Amino acid sequence: MSSTTLARTAGDRDVAATRATTPRPTRRRPDLRRWISPVTIVLLWQLASSTGVLAEDELASPVRVVTAAIDVTVSGELPEGLLVSLGRVALGLVLGLTVGVTLGLVSGLSRWGGHLVDPPVQMLRTLPHLGLVPLFILWFGVGELPKVLLVALGVLFPMYLNVHAGVRGVDPKLLEAASVSGFTPAERLRHVVLPGAMPSTLTGLRLALGIAWLSIIVAETTAADAGLGYMIMNAREFLRTDVIVVGLAVYALLGLTTDALVRRLERTVLAWRPAGPAGADR
Amino acid sequence: MSARVHDLVREFGGRRVLDRLDLTIGDGEFVALLGRSGSGKSTLLRLLAGLDGSADAGVSGTVEVPGSVAVAFQEPRLLPWRSVRENVSLGLHRDLGADTPAGVADTALAEVGLGARADAWPLTLSGGEAQRASLARALVREPGLLLLDEPFGALDALTRITMHRLVLDLWQRHRPGVLLVTHDVDEALLLADRVLVLTDGRIGAEHRPGPRPRDPDTLSALRRTVLDELGVAADAA
C-alpha cells in the first residue's frame, strides 16, 4: 500500500515538472531493436550481390553503392547536381507557396474571393500535375523554367487547400469573443484568423514539400542537362546502378531533411499546443 | 442606466422566442435571468452583446446599452495561441492614461488571483483558471454592462463556490451593471439584487432576495417559488 502511494507521488511530480517547463518532447534514446531488420536486409542484399544472385547491372551491392557515393562526391558530380536540384526546388517552392497562400487567404477571407477563386482552383486540382510534363516541354522547352513551374504547380494546391480550410475553420466562438472584446479587423486577422489557420497551413507545407521533391524527380528524369535527375539518367546510359541508387538515396535524404525542418518549425510556431499524445502529432 | 430593453421581439423562422420583452438594468445593478433551456435567455444576452448578426430580420424593439459592454461566456473562449496576458490586453483601445495594456492586464489578472499565470498558454490552465482569465478580460474593458452567459456552468461544484465569491467581490469593487444568465436557481438567488424569470418570451416574475448576506430560510422559501415558476415540481428538485 505504502509503496504504491510513493510511486504515484513520484509520477505526479514528473507530470508537474514537465508541465512547468516548456512543453518540448524529451528526446528518446534510439531503440536498438528497431535496427535489427534493416541491417539484416542490407546484409542479405550484400550477400545476394556477392554470390551473383543479384547481377551488377540490375542492382549494385551496398558496398559498391557506398564507394560510388564517395566517387561522385569527390568528383564533384553529386554536389553540383545537388545544388542545381536544390535551387530548382527552392525557386518552385517560393513561387508555389506565394501563389498558394495568397489564393488561399483571398478565398478564405472574403466571400467574393471564395466565389471567384475556389471554382477554377478546385477544377485544376483534379488534373494530375505531373501529367503536364509533355505540355510544359512543348511550351517552355527543356530549360529551367518548366522544372521550376512544375514544382510550383505541385506545391500550390496543397497550400491553397490547407490555408483555405484553416482560415474557414477558425472557431466562430473565438471570433465572437474577439468582436465583443473590441478587436479591429486587423487585430482579428492577426491574432485570431492567421494563428488559427496555422496548424492546417503547416500540414499543407509538409504535404507541399513531399510533392515538390516528387515533381523535381519527375521533371529531371524526363528531360534535363543538370541536376540530380540528370546524374541518375546519365548513370542509366552506362548501366551504373550504383550511381542510380546513390541519387535515389540523396533524394530520400533531402525529403527527410525538409520534413524534419517543418516538424521543427511546427514545434516552435505551435508551442501553445499542449504536449502529449493529443498535441504531439496532428 | 446600464441597459434598457423595450418591446423587444426576436423571431427565428416564425417562432417567437422573445415576445415584446421589457427589461431595465439600473446603474451597478446585479440582475440574474433564469429560464428553462430554450426560453430565450441566451438570445436576449446575445442581442445585448451585439452578437445577433441578422439584426434586420426577425428583430424589432429597442435595445439601449452603454458604450462598453463586456461578455464572459460559458466557455472561456481564450485564444490558445496567445499568452494569458495578451488574451486580457488584446483589443483594448480605451484611454489607459500612463498605463500600458500589458500593465492593465497584469493588474486585472492579479485581481482575479491569476497573476502568476500571466505568461502561461491558455490550454495549460484549469477550467477555473481559464474562467478567471475570461473575467479579467471582461473587467479591463471597464464595462458599463457586464454580461455573464452561464459562466460557471462548466465548472465543478467547489470551483463554482470560489467563483461566486470572486464575481461578487469584483462587482462590488467595479460596480458594472450585471446581467447573469443562468439556469442555476441557487446561484441566481445568492448573487443577484434582482432575479428575473423568463417565461414565454417575457419576464414572467421578479424577485428581490434582500440584503446580503442572505438568510438561508428566506432563500429556500424563494427557491421553491422560483422553481415553481420555472415549472419544476418543488418536491422533485
A209, part of any domain: yes
Interface contact B92-A182, CB threshold 8 A: yes
A203, part of any domain: yes
Minimum mean pLDDT range among A51-55, A109-113, B177-181, B209-213: B209-213
Chain B contacts in chain A segment 7-26 (CB below 8 A): 19, 23
Say what the pLDDT of residue A28 is. Answer: 67
Mean pLDDT of chain B: 90
Q: What is the DSSP string of B31-74?
A: EEEE--TTSSHHHHHHHHHT-----SSSEEEEEE--S-EEEE-S
Residue B183 — pLDDT band, cuts 50, 70, 90? confident
In this predicted structure, the answer to whether residue A222 has a pLDDT above a threshold of 80 is yes
- Sorted by sequence, the CB contacts under 8 Å of residue B106 that are 6+ apart come out as B85, B115, B118
A196 touches chain B (CB under 8 A): yes
What is the span of the domain harbouring residue A84?
Answer: 60-272
Dump pLDDT digits (tens) for B15-62.
899 999 999 999 999 999 999 888 889 899 999 999 986 656 788 888
- Sorted by sequence, the CB contacts under 8 Å of residue B47 that are 6+ apart come out as B5, B8, B10, B18, B59, B63
- A276: cell is 502529449
A280, part of any domain: no
Say what the pLDDT of residue B208 is. Answer: 93
Interface contact B141-A173, CB threshold 8 A: no
| Identity of the residue in A182, A187, A270 whose CB atom sits nearest the CB atom of B141 | A182
pLDDT-above-70 percentage for chain B: 96
Interhelix angle A144-168/A111-125, rounded to 10 degrees, is 130
Residue A47 — pLDDT band, cuts 50, 70, 90? very high
In this predicted structure, the answer to whether residue A3 has a pLDDT above a threshold of 70 is no
A171, part of any domain: yes
Residue B104 — pLDDT band, cuts 50, 70, 90? very high
State residue B12 phi and psi, 5-degree precision: -115, 110
Residue A276 — pLDDT band, cuts 50, 70, 90? low
Alpha-carbon distance A34 to A37, whole Å? 7
Chain A interface mutation, best of B81, B93, B131, highest count of A Cβ atoms under 10 Å: B81
Q: Look-up: residue for cell 511550351?
A: A139
Closest to A177 in 3D by CA, of B128, B213, B51, B35? B51
- Chain A residues inside the 8 Å CB shell of B82: 191, 195, 272
In this predicted structure, the answer to whether residue A275 has a pLDDT above a threshold of 80 is no
Interface contact B91-A182, CB threshold 8 A: yes
| Identity of the residue in A176, A187, A191 whose CB atom sits nearest the CB atom of B51 | A176
Minimum mean pLDDT range among A98-112, A130-144, B74-88: A130-144
Please give the ipTM for the structure prediction: 0.90
- Chain B residues inside the 8 Å CB shell of A195: 79, 81-82
Alpha-carbon distance A53 to A41, whole Å? 15
Say what the pLDDT of residue A280 is. Answer: 42
A vs B, Cβ pairs < 8 A, gives 63
CA distance A131 to chain B (A): 41
- Chain A residues inside the 8 Å CB shell of B93: 182, 184
Residue A176 — pLDDT band, cuts 50, 70, 90? very high
Contact B62, B55 (CB under 8 A): no
Q: What integer is the mean pLDDT of A72-93?
A: 94
Chain A contacts in chain B segment 4-63 (CB below 8 A): 49-51
A115, part of any domain: yes
Chain B contacts in chain A segment 150-189 (CB below 8 A): 173-174, 176-184, 187
- Chain B residues inside the 8 Å CB shell of A173: 73, 75, 77
Tell me if residue B80 falls in helix, strand or coil.
coil
- Domains in chain B with CATH codes: 3-68+143-230 (3.40.50.300), 81-141 (no CATH)
A10, part of any domain: no
- Within 10 angstroms of residue A196's Cβ, the number of other Cβ atoms is 20
Residue A221 — pLDDT band, cuts 50, 70, 90? confident
Alpha-carbon distance B23 to B201, whole Å? 12
Dump pLDDT digits (tens) for A184-213.
999 999 999 999 999 999 999 999 999 999
Interface contact B79-A192, CB threshold 8 A: yes
**Structural domains in chain A (count):** 1
A41, part of any domain: no
Say what the pLDDT of residue A5 is. Answer: 40
- A221: cell is 528524369
Q: What is the CATH number of the domain that holds A241?
A: 1.10.3720.10
Alpha-carbon distance A245 to A77, whole Å? 15
A140 touches chain B (CB under 8 A): no
Closest to A117 in 3D by CA, of A104, A128, A126? A104
Minimum mean pLDDT range among A23-37, A143-157, B90-104: A23-37
Tell me if residue A127 falls in helix, strand or coil.
coil
- B197: cell is 424569470
Contact A160, A104 (CB under 8 A): yes
A54, part of any domain: no
CA distance B49 to chain A (A): 7
Q: What integer is the mean pLDDT of A75-100?
A: 95
